[in-house]
A and B are shown apart, each in its own frame.
Chain A
Amino acid sequence: MIKLTVTLLLIAICSITAFGQQATIKGKITDTAEKKTLTNSVVALLRSADSTLVKFTRSNKDGSFTLAGIPAGNYFVLVTHPTFADYYVTTNLKDTSQVELGEVPMILRSQLLEQVIVSQKLGAIRIKKDTTEYIADSFKVAANATVEDLLKRLPGVQVDVDGKIKAQGEDVQKVLVDGEEFFGDDPTMATQNIRADAVERVQVFDKKSDQATFTGIDDGQRTKTINLKLKEDKKNGYFGKVTLGGGLPDKFNNSAMVNAFKGKRKFAVYGIMSNTGRTGLGWGDRNAYGGGEMNMMVDEDGGGGMYFYGGGDDFEGGGGSYYGEGLPTSWSAGTHYSNKFNGDRHKVNFNYKFNKLNTTGAGTTNTEYLLTDSSYFRNEIGNKFSQRIRNNLSGTYEVQLDSSSTLKFTANGTLSKNSNNNRTILQTLSGDQVLVNQLQRLNTSEGQSQALNTTLLWRKKYKRIGRTLSVNFDQRYANNEANGFLKSYNEEFGTNPSKDTTDQAKINNSRLLNVSGKVSYTEPLSKAVTLEINYSIRNNNNESERLTNDEQNGKYELFVDTLSTHYNVNVFTNSGGLNLRINKKKLSFSFGGNISHSGFRQEDLFQDTILRYSYLNFFPRANFNWNIKPQTRFSIRYSGNTRQPTIEQLQPLKDNTDNYFQQVGNPNLKQEFRQNIGINFNDFKIMNNRGIYGYLDFTNILNAMSTSDTIYQNFKRVSQPYNVSGNYNYYSYFGYGFKLKKTDFNINFNANINGGNNNSYITDLQGNTGTKKIRNKSRNFEIGTGGNYNKPKKMDFNLNLGVGYSISKSNSQDIHYWSTSLNGSATVYLPWKTQINANANLNVREKTDAFPQNRNVYLLNGSFSKKIFKDDTGLLSFEMKDVLNQNLGFSRDINETYIQQRTYQTIQRFWLISFTWNFSKNGKAPANPWD
């Protein structure tokens, strides 16, 4: 049998030789000392050009071996054996070579003498312990020389034609730049791409086997390593962009931003002026220029979810404090500095931001107030101008105290100035549209505020995995002062017409000081079970002063004590909690909760009375999470919390801005208890791009703090907080999306149902119907479908259609209406680096009895742009917003006491020509994590 196999093998070899004209090497491996043949020695054939392994075999029982079928070329034959020294021989094979190596003599490793060559020259060379350091500037190289050229000059270092480096006779396996790997592991990446004049020092040392690098196993091995220490000024760089945009009618959108870095120091400045709705850095620019701090939280309850929450304030985000209502003009500027010291153990971060925002606006609100079996109307028309100037300075200092603990200090101070000017006409009409009363009001105010917040956080991770301790201290201070005037003219019509004017000066001052501390500790009880304990105390002091002076002889000196208050409220809260987490590979479960006690001390400084009361609040919670399969997850979350009444609900500050709608307190108001349960399911198949998402969220409120309103003569309404039962609401969503096989079409369907029940009380003294409970049941159904087609760098289409139906039922009303929305966008990439983009947004809402006007919006935007300059660093664009000049701010709100529709002025048609230029040196904007 064996003979047969050998014969077959020989035939096979012969045939290969015959067809391919290939060479064969034969030999016999022997032990020189013992004069015995060696079995199982590896005979490897390497191409001599690059040491590529071409073939290998092991020697037979008699020490013989045959390597056959070898193409012509130059080779090494390398014979290895665990206890013998490597043997190698070079050979040049022709097509038909039959090389007989004969006996290959192997020498025991133990008999070999190691040869050590030490070469050392002094000069600009320093030897520190195991490290040899060369001062780069002492070795002359050509002007544009690379590091490789520099290395060739260094005594004891050799570089061969392929860029392979030998230092002190050994191969250099790693070239680091400032202690870090430079774009991967190929040493020539650094040596051939970095200029010699950027290097300050070249350090040659034996790196302990991968201690700080990726392999991480210390086995006593040393790797010859070169570290290039760069000159500080060569780590410089910058990147930035400038955008200039202008258009009609009188629109501008200009910005400039630059980030200059030097080593780990980062310095950025930006300036933006715009009246196209842009009031700050956008999301993408914030990370690059704003220095806005990013926080990250790993959710251990939910089986490893991860959340990023930006440190954004209302300076940031494309909208700033502009939310689409009115016409904004904004000027903003900011600067950022951050640096790291002592091997990144200390980090500092400073930001200064400035924003001036002027907004003019006008709007109309139509409200139908529901009574038990009738209703009345209030229509409000107003226009306003507001200006806000804010200066903000913030800083962070973080220090890694030791390998297990960190300390972080943050401070944030703001100075701001506000001025507001509001003109309003408010009319009340009876159910049959008869004018009952009218209020004309001018409200002006000038205010300023100062705020300072500081936090101190200390965290320690113990050796035992999962054991952590953190201590947190938090301070907040805010001082607001506002002076203003309320001028109003109130008229009542009907059987007893009356007129009345108000002309008052208003002073509103408030001061808040909040100090709190929290300790939390986690302890792993077993591999899967962790216990978390936390305790916190908080003291919150709030002083509020509201003064009203009537006008008399052109002076505002007549103090109105019925409209003036001065309170000092102190709340001291103790809170403790316990949480148990169980984490298994696929299942995780957690439950626990907090209990807190709040003691109130409310001092009325005018009446000189002190009121004390306290609340005990409960916050139970539980989570369950099941990772059924990769990308398939099911979870249930439960949480409950008591909400205590606010001071305004117990004893509101007196206010006469609207004579026909006043709020009073309810000292008997009880806490409400909210319970929320959410069920979530999602399943995504990556391989065929199919996703299913669904959630259901239900909230039930016990003793809900609703309202009990009383209607007096001429629809004068007084609203009082009041506990009711039976309030709940729910949200649900279901989505399904997939990609059409073998195409670039994605299609999705979704449906959602929202609804709820809200109760309140109403006492209609005017209609004499007594106190009645108003129940409002609302439901909203919506189904949608959408599709997109995407061909990278060619085109991108998107279309979404949604149809909704809303129902709102209460004692006296039954409202239902349809609404439809259609969104589409298309981007087409054209030749000559140009692209066209268009998007349309159509919203159609059915008229209802309450809202007979047509409120449909057809919004159309378009743009054309072209990339210019080398490397596409410039962009020219022409864009037109709201081509049909139809844009309209709109909102509808229906609840148990009213049905409201609001329309307001917003940015309408304009066109803009803009030019953007991106520039950089040695750097670019940091990668977006969602890339």
Chain B
Amino acid sequence: MKKILIAITLFYLPVLAGAQQFIAKGKIEFERKLNVHKQIDGYGEWAQEMKKQVPQYHVTYFDFFFDGEKSVYKPGRDNPDNRAGINGWGQGPAQENIVCTNYGTQSSISQKQVFETMYLVQDSLRKIDWKYTTDTRKIAGFNCRKATGIIMDSVFIFAFFTDEIMVTGGPESFNGLPGMILGIAIPRINTTWFATKLELIEPTAKDMAVPTKGKKATISELQKSLQGSLKDWGKWAERNIWNIML
């Protein structure tokens, strides 16, 4: 089914290209893939035993709606392969974020379940110093250029973006490239996001709804309270903070 959709998208694009080459509104589906085995690696025999019980990848889907200057990234369809129970292993907190971005005002509101607390983080957009590369690859039928960046001082990210889509956003809070980010890989947290398909639809008000519930905080306030709470967690703290602060 997925393949067919991609095929349709691929087929449609050149046709559309003639009339309207640049896409300003629609819906993109992202597949987030966490390599659970890599995540638990490095713990000797323990990890080897655990790998036998836990599937290598944990895949979840997200929808990205965009309409002009605004976009909303939120959990999408269920993955039928994910069973409750063992699939939860190796995952961090803040796995089902909703991120609403306004590119006009350069601000965002995101709702994150951080352990027991639901946060509503309001702040200006994340600023990343992107470095261009000459590499390209095709994602969901779009030619994407690769750029690299560093977030939170030391976490390397690889992003693939296309200039065919006008919005300058991406999964989670990633933004700031001249086009839409259709692929992100963050080796430090063993996670990738890749677009699987684009639907040329008009997002509804419901699709673009902004969450209002949660404990209000700015990015630096959340980071500060995390650093305080996870002080005694050693290296797990770092990885959890990376996950939460995406």
Contact surface of A with B, Cβ cutoff 8 Å: 39-42, 44, 46, 50-53, 56-58, 78, 80-83, 171, 173, 181, 184-186, 209, 214-217, 219-221, 287, 293-298, 300, 303-304, 306, 308, 406, 465-466, 527-528, 583-586, 588, 629-632, 683-689, 790, 792, 926-927, 929, 931
Contact = CB atoms under 8 A, between A and B. Distances in A.
A234 to B, nearest CB: 21
5 contacts: A294-B46, A465-B83, A583-B85, A790-B232, A929-B46
A52 B176 CA distance: 12
A220 to B, nearest CB: 8
A684 B192 CA distance: 30
Nearest to B194: A217
A306 B89 contact: yes
Contacts of B230: 686
Secondary structure type dominating chain B contacts: mixed
Given A52-B129, A83-B17, A298-B54, 4 more contacts: A56-B177, A80-B178, A219-B138, A685-B116
Given A216-B57, A631-B115, A294 B129 contact: no
Contacts of A585: 84
B44 interface: yes
Contact of B84 (A56, A186, A217, A304): A304
Contacts of B131: 50-53
Given A82-B163, A214-B185, A629 B86 contact: no
Interface string B39-67: 00011111101101111010000000000
B187 A185 contact: yes
Contacts of A298: 50, 53-54, 85-86, 89
A929 B43 contact: yes
A586 B85 CA distance: 9
Contact of B93 (A465, A584, A630): A630
Given A82-B163, A215-B185, A685-B115, A221 B85 contact: no
Interface string B123-153: 0000001111111011100010101000000
Given A53-B130, A216-B57, A632-B116, A40 B166 contact: yes
Contact of A42 (B33, B158, B163): B163
B190 interface: yes
Interface in B13-28: 17, 21-22
Nearest to B84: A583
B178 to A, nearest CB: 4
Nearest to A38: B21
Contacts of B192: 214-217
Contacts of B86: 298, 300, 304
B49 A294 contact: yes
A913 to B, nearest CB: 31
Given A215-B194, A931-B235, A296 B137 contact: no
Given A53-B132, A303-B84, A296 B163 contact: no
Residue among A46, A58, A186, A790 with the highest chain B CB neighbour number at 10 A: A58
Interface string B220-242: 00000110011010110000000
Contact of B44 (A57, A78, A221, A926): A926
Contacts of A221: 137-138
Contacts of A40: 21-22, 163, 166
Contacts of B83: 465-466, 527-528, 583
B187 A527 contact: no
B166 A219 contact: no
A684 B179 CA distance: 42
A295 B115 CA distance: 28
Given A287-B44, A583-B84, A78 B132 contact: yes
Contacts of A630: 93, 113, 115-116
A207 to B, nearest CB: 13
A56 B192 CA distance: 26
A537 B158 CA distance: 56
A927 B44 CA distance: 7
Closest 9 CB pairs of A and B: A296-B49, A686-B115, A926-B44, A56-B178, A583-B84, A42-B178, A53-B130, A304-B85, A42-B163
Contacts of B225: 687
Given A40-B22, A219-B139, A308-B46, A53 B177 contact: yes
A81 B163 contact: yes
B133 A51 contact: yes
A214 B178 contact: no
B156 interface: yes
B43 to A, nearest CB: 5
A586 B88 CA distance: 11
A308 B49 CA distance: 9
Given A217-B194, A926-B44, A46 B187 contact: no
A593 B93 CA distance: 36
Residue among A46, A52, A583, A686 with the highest chain B CB neighbour number at 10 A: A686
Contacts of A185: 156, 158, 187
A173 B135 contact: yes
Nearest to A746: B232
A293 B45 contact: yes
Given A214-B187, A219-B138, A44 B178 contact: yes
A257 to B, nearest CB: 16
Contacts of A220: 138
Contacts of A465: 55, 81, 83
B67 to A, nearest CB: 17
B204 interface: no
B137 A219 contact: yes
B181 interface: no
A82 B46 contact: no
Contact of B117 (A78, A588, A687, A931): A687
A185 B133 CA distance: 15
Nearest to A209: B137
Nearest to A295: B49
Nearest to A222: B137
A36 to B, nearest CB: 13
Contacts of A792: 232
B130 A52 contact: yes
B216 interface: no
B69 interface: no
Interface in B166-187: 166, 176-179, 185, 187
A687 B114 contact: yes
B42 to A, nearest CB: 6
A295 B178 CA distance: 50
Contacts of B207: none
Contacts of A58: 166, 178
A259 B129 CA distance: 45
Given A296-B50, A630-B115, A216 B33 contact: yes
B132 A588 contact: no
A298 B113 CA distance: 25
A676 to B, nearest CB: 23
A141 to B, nearest CB: 29
Contacts of B130: 52-53
A287 B129 CA distance: 43
A215 B190 CA distance: 8
A641 to B, nearest CB: 25
B132 A584 contact: no
A57 B116 CA distance: 42
B35 interface: yes
A300 B115 contact: no
A82 B164 contact: yes
Contacts of B55: 465
A171 B134 contact: yes
